[in-house]
Amino acid sequence: MDPGITVGLIIIPQAMSYAKIATLPVQYGLYSAYIGALFYVLMGTSREIDIGPTSVISLITASLIAQYEADHEGAPTGLEGHQLASMACLVAGAIVLFLGLFRLGMVLDFIPETVLAGFTTGSAITIISCQIPKWIGAHGVSSHDLPLVVLFNSLKAIPTLSWMDAVFGISSLIFLVIVGSIADRFARQDRAWLRMLKISRFFIITTLATVASYIILSSSERPTTDSFIGKSGNSSSSNIGMITPTGTPPMLSILKTVPSGLPAPTIPPLEWSLLRELTPKMIAIVLIMVLEHVAVAKSIAQQSQYQVDTSQELTTLGLANITASFFGAYAVSGAFSRSAVKHQCSVKSPLSGFFSSALVLLAIHFLTPLFYYIPDSALSAVIIVAVSSLICLPRVFIHFYKVSVWDFVTSQITLWVTLLVSVEMGIMAGVGFSLTIMLFRIARPSCYGLAPLSGRPDVFVNMRRLSGKREDIAGDQTTTHGTLRESFQEPILASLFDSESSQDPIPAGVLAVRMDEAALFPNINIFRSYVLDQVYLQARFGGLTRKAEDRLWSDNRELYIRRLRQSASDRKGIYDCETDMTDEGLGLPRLAAVIIDCSAMNRVDSTGLDGLVRLRESLEEYAGARDDPNLFFELHFVAVNASVLRVLHQSTLLQRTRLSVISQELSGEQFSCCYYGSGFSTQRLAESNDRDPNNNSNVGSGNDKDRSKQANTCQVGIPELTRPRRICRTVLPSNTNVGTGELVHWTIRDALDAIMEHGREWAVALEVGSMGKDKRRGERGSLEDDHDSLASIEV
C-alpha cells in the first residue's frame, strides 16, 4: 500500500501541473491520472509502471489545441480544448490498440536512441520556457511562441511582473532543488526518511504554498480579481495570468475553483475533417505515447530482471486511453519519474496502482475546495523541476559524437527542429533523417580487400589500412604489382604485421574481398564496381583484344583502367610517375580466382543474386576464361550462412567448372579425363556409358592413385594455352553428386588451399590432353613440333 500512496502524493500535484502544460483546467489532469492507472492494474505486465499524464504528451496536446484555435479563430461555434484532447486520446488509443493486437511494436525499432535524446531534451526545454512567465509572474506573455521568443518577452515583462508570484515561484524552486540535492548526496546512507522526503517533496511544497497563499490572501485587503475564473467557475488557461481590467497585475495568481466529483461519461466528438487537419499532431502523440511507455517498461524490467510483453503492453495502453477518453481525460502513457519511484519502493505487483488511483479519486471528491488557493507559480516550479530530469547532459551528445558523427548530427537535428519549429516536426525530422542515414549505409556499404596477419595466416583483416609497396620476386626479375603486402599505419596495429617477410600474403592473381552489408538491390552494383576496380588494379587482362570495329562505341575500359591505376598511384605512391600503367608495364599477374567473404552478408535478394552472377561473368571475361576455355578461373565464397547458401543454390554460382578431354585414343582405347572436386579420375568411356550417370561411386578408383601421383609431380601452376585445342570447358550438371564445399568454405585459408588444389588438377587435365594429342600424332606418323607453350602462373 505504501508505494501506491507515495505515488498518489506525487501524481496529484503533477497531474494538475501537466494539465496546465496542456492548457486545460487542472481537473482534467486528475481525471487522466486515476483512470489510466486503474485500468492498467487489470491487464498490465509491468509491476512498476505508472500510467498517467506526462509532460511531453501534455505539450503536444497544447500544440494541438493551439492549432485548432488558430485555424478556427472567429468561428461562431467550435469545440472546447478538453473536447479536442479527449478526441485525440480516443484516436491515439485506437491506433495503439491496433499496434498491440497485430503485434506491430516493431515499428519502434526504427526510432533510435539519438532521436529520443534530442527530442526529450528539446521538449523539456520548451516546457520549461513556457513555464517561465507564470513562474516569475510575467503576465501578458504568450507561452505558445518559440522558447527563445518566450524567454525574450519574459525578460521584457520584468518591470511589470507580480513580485508575489515571483517570490512563491523562486522559493518553491529553491526548496525542491535543495531537498533533491540533499537526498542525492546522502543516498548511500540508505536513510528511509530522506528517500521519502525526496519522493514527496512535490506534495509538500504544493501544500506549503497553498497554506501560505491562503494566509496571505485572507488577510489582504486586495483579493484576486475574478478575471481568473473561467466558464462555470472553472480555471481557464486562456485567462489565468492576464492583467486585470484596471491595468494592474493581480497580487497572486491562483487556481481558483476546481469542480469536485467525476464527469458523466460522454462520447468524444469525431469529425473527419478535423482529424485530417490534426493528423500530424495525433501521429506525434501516438509515437511519444508508445515510446515513453515501452521505454519505461523495458528499462525497469531489465533492472528488475524480468520480461514484459510489448504487444500486451501496447494493447493495455490502447484500451486505457480509449476508456479514459469517455471520462474527459486526455492521452496518458507510462511516466518516467513515478515509475522510478515504484521501482525504488520495490513494488511486487501492479496492484499498487489501485491505491494511487484511489487517492486521486479521494482528492477529486473531497479535496478540490483546498485546491482553490494553490499558486500558479508554485505549480510552475513543480513542472520545471519535474521535466528538468528529461534534459540530456552534454556528455550524452559527446558520447554520440565519439561513437558516430551521424548519430550526433541526428540528435542535434531533432533537438533544434523541436526547439525552433515544433515538437511534432522535431520527432518527424529526427526519424526521417535517421532512416535516410540507415538507407544510405545500406546503399553505400563498406567494401575492402583482405590480407592475413603475419604469423597468423588464418586471420584476415581489412587491407584498406595498409600502405606501401610489395615486391614480387619471380626468378631474377623484380616487379611491383599491387599493394597486397603492406604495413599498418597505426602504431598499435603495426606490430601485428611482419613487413620484412618475403612471403606473399595472398598468391598473385588471387583476391579476397568483403562487403560489410547484405547483398541487396541498393548496394550490389557498388560491390560489383568495387571488386572490378580491385581486379583492374591488381591483375592484367587475360582475354582476347578486340579490334576497334568490333567494340562498342562506349567501350572505354582500357582508358578507365589506366586512369584508375594512375589515381591509385598518385594517392598512395605505389608507382613512379614514369611507370607505364598498362598490363605489360606493370607486370601484373593474370586473374586466377576471387574469394568473397560473406561473414557479414546475412541476406541476398533476387537483385543481389543477379548482381553476383553478373560479377562472376565480368571476372571470367577479364580473366580470359570466356575467350579461352583452357584458362583457369574460379569464384569462391567464405563463411556463408544457411539463408544465403540457399539463395546461392538458385543460381549457377556454386557449379564447378571442369576440363574434359573429348575422344582421346590412348593405347587403342577411349578415355574421358575429368576431375571431380579434389580427385582426378581417368575412366573408360565405355564403362561410364554402362553405369548410372548419377552414380559417382567409382570416381577416384582405378588409376586415380597413379594420376594423382603424376599430378603431384607436375609443376604446380595454372597453365595457359595460346589458343584452345580439343580440350573444352564444361560445367558439372546439377544432378552430379558433388558438394558445394568445392566453392564454399569456412575460412579464407580453406579457400586458398582449394584454389591451389584445383589449379594442380587443372594443370594435370591440360597435361593429359596434350599427351593424348601427341599420341595420336605419333600413330599417324605426322608428329610435328608443338609450339604451344604452357606459361605457368604461380599460385
Q: What is the pLDDT of residues 358-402, one digit of tens each?
A: 999 999 999 888 899 999 999 999 989 988 888 999 999 999 999
Q: What is the DSSP annotation of 419-455?
A: HHT-HHHHHHHHHHHHHHHHHHHHHS--EEEEEEETT
- As a whole number of angstroms, the distance between CA 59 and CA 67 comes to 12
State residue 648's pLDDT score. Answer: 95
State residue 305's pLDDT score. Answer: 79
- As a whole number of angstroms, the distance between CA 679 and CA 530 comes to 34
CA distances from 599 to 515, 649, 742 (A): 9, 17, 18
- Given the C-alpha cell 548496394, which residue does it identify? 523
pLDDT at 231 over 60: no
The band of 584, judged by pLDDT with boundaries at 50, 70 and 90, is low
pLDDT per residue as tens digits for the range 174-216: 999 999 898 888 766 667 777 778 878 888 999 999 999 999 8
Among 240-244, 253-257, 425-429, the minimum mean pLDDT is found in: 240-244
pLDDT at 3 over 90: no
- As a whole number of angstroms, the distance between CA 196 and CA 244 comes to 41
State residue 75's pLDDT score. Answer: 60
What is the percent of the chain where pLDDT is above 70? 73
CA distances from 634 to 246, 278, 360, 659 (A): 93, 61, 75, 13
State residue 790's pLDDT score. Answer: 30
CA distances from 650 to 28, 599, 654, 785 (A): 62, 20, 9, 47
Among 57-66, 119-128, 189-198, 311-320, the minimum mean pLDDT is found in: 189-198
Among 97-111, 271-285, 711-725, the minimum mean pLDDT is found in: 711-725
Q: Three cell numbers at 548?
A: 576497334
- On average, the pLDDT of the chain sits at 77
State residue 497's pLDDT score. Answer: 34
pTM over 0.95: no
The band of 344, judged by pLDDT with boundaries at 50, 70 and 90, is confident
The closest of 211, 200, 220 to 375, measured between CA atoms, is: 211
Better-scored residue on pLDDT, 765 or 536 = 536
Residue pair 146/249 in contact (Cβ under 8 Å)? The answer is no
Tell me the torsion sign for CA atoms 322, 325, 327, 333. Answer: positive
Residue pair 297/308 in contact (Cβ under 8 Å)? The answer is yes
Better-scored residue on pLDDT, 600 or 552 = 600
The side-by-side arrangement of strands in the sheet containing 669-676 is 679-684, 669-676, 657-666, 727-731
- Given the C-alpha cell 558445394, which residue does it identify? 740
State residue 143's pLDDT score. Answer: 80
State residue 241's pLDDT score. Answer: 39
The band of 622, judged by pLDDT with boundaries at 50, 70 and 90, is very high
Helix axes 201-219, 2-21, angle to 10 degrees: 60
Residue 387: how many other CB atoms lie within 10 Å: 27
Domain 444-654 adopts which CATH fold?
Transcription Regulator spoIIAA (3.30.750)
State residue 789's pLDDT score. Answer: 30
Q: Three cell numbers at 298?
A: 523495458
pLDDT at 475 over 50: no
What is the percent of the chain where pLDDT is above 90? 37
The band of 579, judged by pLDDT with boundaries at 50, 70 and 90, is low
Q: Going by DSSP bridges, is the β-strand pair 744-745/634-638 parallel, antiparallel, or unpaired?
A: parallel
Residue pair 318/96 in contact (Cβ under 8 Å)? The answer is yes
pLDDT per residue as tens digits for the range 767-785: 776 665 555 555 444 333 3
SS3 168: helix
State residue 226's pLDDT score. Answer: 41
Residue pair 788/773 in contact (Cβ under 8 Å)? The answer is no
Among 67-81, 227-241, 431-445, the minimum mean pLDDT is found in: 227-241
Mean pLDDT of 422-450: 92
CA distances from 776 to 703, 763, 764, 771 (A): 21, 20, 19, 9
The band of 142, judged by pLDDT with boundaries at 50, 70 and 90, is confident
Instruction: State which H helix or E strand residue 460 sits in.
Output: strand 456-462
Candidate ranges 66-75, 255-264, 739-748; pick with highest mean pLDDT: 255-264
State residue 770's pLDDT score. Answer: 64
pLDDT per residue as tens digits for the range 280-296: 899 999 999 998 898 88
Residue ranges of the domains in the chain?
2-71+80-390, 444-654, 655-795
Instruction: State which H helix or E strand residue 514 sits in.
Output: strand 510-515
State residue 340's pLDDT score. Answer: 78
